[in-house]
Structure formats: structure tokens, C-alpha cells
Amino acid sequence: MRSLLLFVALGAVVPVTHAAAPPNVLFIVADDLNCDLGCYGHKVVKSPNIDRLAASGVRFDRAYVQYTVCNPSRTSFLTGLRPTTTRVMDNTTHFRKTLPNAVTLPELFRTNGYEAIGLGKVFHRGLSPDDTKKEMDDPKSFDRVFYGRTTAVGVKGEGRNLTGGALAWCRWLAAEGADSEQADGQLADEAIKILGAKRDKPLFLAVGFYRPHDPFESPKKYFDLYDNGGFELPKMPDGYKPPYPLSLGGGAFKDAFDKFTDKERREFLHAYSAGVSFMDAQVGRLLDALDKNKLAENTIVVFLGDHGYELGVRNWWNKNTLFERSCRTPLIVRVPGAKGNGKPTAALAEFIDIYPTLAELCRLNDVPKQLEGASFRALLDDTGRKHKEATLTVIKRGAVLGRSIRTEKYRYTEWDDGKKGAELYDHAADPGEWVNRAGDQKFEAIRTVMSARIKTIESGTER
């Protein structure tokens, strides 16, 4: 009788405790990842695991970063602030210099009783995964960090520099050895250990994979997934020229890209895609570990790139532009029980919205008042609703600030408040952003409205 009573009592209590338990968060960041993925409609790139996550979460089809380079973008979404507020617009400035009292997203989880662990490139790291410098670390953000280190085996194999050495980063390697010889494989190994361990606190686990970022080094088996000739080379209209030199970066990058033959272009696409598939396989291992440890039911999964990548459109083989392919980036959010799971949303969203969304979903206290994004929690149940009217992305070229907004129909970009040029693209007629309408009389009224809107978004009048 005694044991029956106990059983009844437990039966009544356990589900309540379970429902009230704060959810874990698995926050996965891929580096330099554009939307050329199976789940976003790409026909060649193999991303079965990210596709699987998209099929069980909400896929954002119009999510835009606030800056199209690593450190400024990561600083922005991890502090919930726009780059014009963080004043971090390069890869060398640490946000604690400009914003010593910022409360980062992982830091807020920590102060709310979570254990926060950061694996790999969550905040910015140097070019190589072997980077041992710690200048971008933020000890306030994580209880523990681990970066991984590619082994001596993992740096051997077949490969070459595609620019004859002119650009040191522009090289590929079909590496010897298994996944765990590479830093990214080690990050997944470590994450699997963490997910399998018993813990007293809820977990915020951030995993920042280094791929598909250059150098394009991945185990050979991921290169073997592709037929080099199967890649469609990027096309542009005959005689196309970017509207301004500022529209693309220039200098040594442009000189090297201009020398590419189709052979180099195909190798670039092949090596980048191998990196996507390698990273995707590691994402799959994390998702399997959630299932195996029965954590999926109480773990929110967020998957994102830190910005997009042009992959040869306009013959630009990099990021750091204000065109759609740099600004638009994958974002998938899976919240257990959300009604929108398995559906895409076409709602416009910004990466600064991720912070307030997670804070709301996990009912965090002491959320900083100065956050500049808006929670998209409601979208996760109702994917057909609107979230924002416009998104804003900025980049700096020397002393010139470029600002670009995207609405449902248009992209509008101003360089130095328009003094150094403006670009207006009609996405309904011209999704490739080939024809600049900024000087076109027919579009003058639209340009005026869009220009004013840059100011209202940046000042926070429009959220």
C-alpha cells in the first residue's frame, strides 16, 4: 500500500516537474554558410542532416544577418545589438572594448542558472581552426570552452591553392583520416560527451563549426560525394558590371578571382560543398546524440550560418557584400511542441531577433532592456504571420558605411548615406539584383521611402 501511494504521488508529480523544467538549448553556428542546401532547394549540395532538422523545425526563408563578416555578425547576434551600436565592424575589435557591460546571450543563460558551454568558433576566432590565440574569448559568456585542433594526419592529403598562392586562404584539401582528425569532428565528439553526461543544471551548448569557411579542408570522403562536373557555374548577364567599386570588395581578391578559369571555379564549388557536407555530418551526430539521450523533447535547437557567401555570383568568391547572397543566411529553429515545426516561413527576420526569442522561450530573467531585436516566438507556432516589414544589414569599406534594407519586394542600399552611391533592386522582377533602379525616375518614390526607413530601423523607431 505504501509503495502504491508513493507510485501515485510520483505519477502526479513527475509530469509537472518535467513540464516546468527549463529547456536545454543546442545552438549550432556554421561559418560562412549560404543557403545552398538541400532544404533550401539546392539540387547538388548534400545536406541530409540539416534537411532533417529543417523537416522537424521551422525553416526561415528570409533571415538576414546584420553584418556579412564573422566577428561583427557574431558580436551582433550574441549581444542582440546592431553593429552600429556595438561599433564592432572588423575581425579584430573585441566587443568588451566598445561595450564592456554588454550581456551576451550565453552569459544571460549562465546568470539564469544554466551551464553554458562553448565549442569551436562561437565568438570569432582566427583564420585557422588551429588558432591558439584567445583574444576573442569572453570568459563571462561560458563556463567552459573547447576549440579542437586538426591533427597532423588531418592536414595531409590532395589539394592546392586556387590562386597560385596569391590568396593564402583560397586553398582546398581532401584530407586523410576520419572526421575526428579535423577540429570540427572533435567538436562533435566533445558535444556528444557533454550531451551524454548527467547534469544538475539546464544546458546552453553552443557549437561553432569552422566549415565551410576557408581553407576548404575536409576529409576526402566528403569530396567523394560530388562529381566535379556536376556543379553549375554561376552566370551573370552579358556586360554586367557592379554599380560601384564599393559594391564588391576589390584589390587582391578581385585580381585573383578575375584570373579563375572554369576549372578553378568548379574546384572552388566542389571544395566549399565538401565542407558543407562535412559540417552537415557533424550536425547529424549532434541530432543523433539528442535522440539517443532522450533530450530532443526538452531541447531547443537553433541552427544558423554567421552570414552568406556569394560563390562566384558577380565573379565574387567571398562574403562581405550587401547583396542578397551575403546577407541572407540559413536559420532553422526547432522548439519541442511548436505548431510550426516542419514548415517554412517567408517572414522577414533579423539575426538580432534570435536573442530575445530564446530569452522569451526559456523565460529568462534580467533580459537587457537595450536589445535591438524583436522576439519571433509567435512565428514558431504560426509560420504564415508577418514579423518585420524590413531587415537591415551594414558593412564598412574603409571609412564608408554601407547600409542595406530588405523588404518583401525590394533591396535598397546606400553607401555613405547615398553620397557614395545607392542601389535599388526590384526583387519581384530581378531576384538576381542585376539592374540598379536607384537612378530610375519610376522608382523615385520607393527610394525616398526606403531611405527614410534605414533611419527609422537603425534608430529603433521601427522594430
Binding site for Ca ion (CB under 5 A): 31-32, 70, 306
Q: How many residues belong to the chain?
A: 463
**134 is written with which cell numbers?**
584567445
**230 is written with which cell numbers?**
556536376
Q: How far apart are CA 439 and CA 421, in angstroms?
A: 10
Q: Which is nearer to Ca ion, 151 or 329 (CB)?
A: 329
Task: Confirm if 304 and 279 have CB atoms less than 8 A apart.
Answer: no
Q: Which is nearer to Ca ion, 267 or 306 (CB)?
A: 306
Q: Which is nearer to Ca ion, 31 or 353 (CB)?
A: 31
70 is catalytic: yes
- Can you list the alpha helix ranges (DSSP code H) found in 82-131? 83-86, 95-98, 105-111
Taking the complex as a whole, the smallest distance from the CB of residue 204 to Ca ion amounts, in Å, to: 21
Task: Confirm if 94 and 124 have CB atoms less than 8 A apart.
Answer: no
Q: Which is nearer to Ca ion, 70 or 205 (CB)?
A: 70
CA angle centred on 306, ends 430 and 135, rounded to 5°: 145
Q: 287 CB contacts (<8 Å, ≥6 apart)?
A: 49, 52, 53, 296, 301
Taking the complex as a whole, the smallest distance from the CB of residue 171 to Ca ion amounts, in Å, to: 17
Query: What's the order of all strands across the beta sheet hosting 216-219?
Result: 157-161, 171-175, 216-219
Partner residues linked to 388 by β-bridges: 348
The single residue of 18, 35, 42, 70 carrying the catalytic annotation is: 70
Taking the complex as a whole, the smallest distance from the CB of residue 30 to Ca ion amounts, in Å, to: 9
Q: How far apart are CA 110 and CA 112, in angstroms?
A: 5
Q: Which is nearer to Ca ion, 34 or 345 (CB)?
A: 34
- Which residue has its beta carbon closest to Ca ion? 70
**182 is written with which cell numbers?**
579535423
The single residue of 18, 39, 94, 124 carrying the catalytic annotation is: 124
CA distances from 271 to 134, 284, 389 (A): 28, 20, 37
Neighbours of 385 (CB within 10 A): 12
**29 is written with which cell numbers?**
553556428
35 is catalytic: no
Residue (of 213, 30, 218) closest to 127 by Cα position: 213
Q: Which is nearer to Ca ion, 90 or 224 (CB)?
A: 90
Q: How far apart are CA 359 and CA 159, in angstroms?
A: 44
Taking the complex as a whole, the smallest distance from the CB of residue 32 to Ca ion amounts, in Å, to: 4
Q: Which is nearer to Ca ion, 122 or 361 (CB)?
A: 122
Taking the complex as a whole, the smallest distance from the CB of residue 303 to Ca ion amounts, in Å, to: 15
Taking the complex as a whole, the smallest distance from the CB of residue 307 to Ca ion amounts, in Å, to: 6
Exposed/middle/buried for residue 368 (C-beta within 10 Å: 0-12, 13-18, 19+):
middle
Convert 266-303 to b/e letters by CB count within 10 Å (16 or more is b): bbbbbbbbbbbbbbbbbbbbbbbbbeeeebbebbbbbb
Residue (of 301, 360, 309, 361) closest to 333 by Cα position: 301
Is the backbone peptide bond immediately before 48 cis, with ω within 30 degrees of 0?
no
Taking the complex as a whole, the smallest distance from the CB of residue 169 to Ca ion amounts, in Å, to: 12
Task: Confirm if 79 and 99 have CB atoms less than 8 A apart.
Answer: yes
Q: Which is nearer to Ca ion, 32 or 181 (CB)?
A: 32
Taking the complex as a whole, the smallest distance from the CB of residue 132 to Ca ion amounts, in Å, to: 19
Q: Which is nearer to Ca ion, 186 or 326 (CB)?
A: 326
Active site residues per annotation: 70, 124
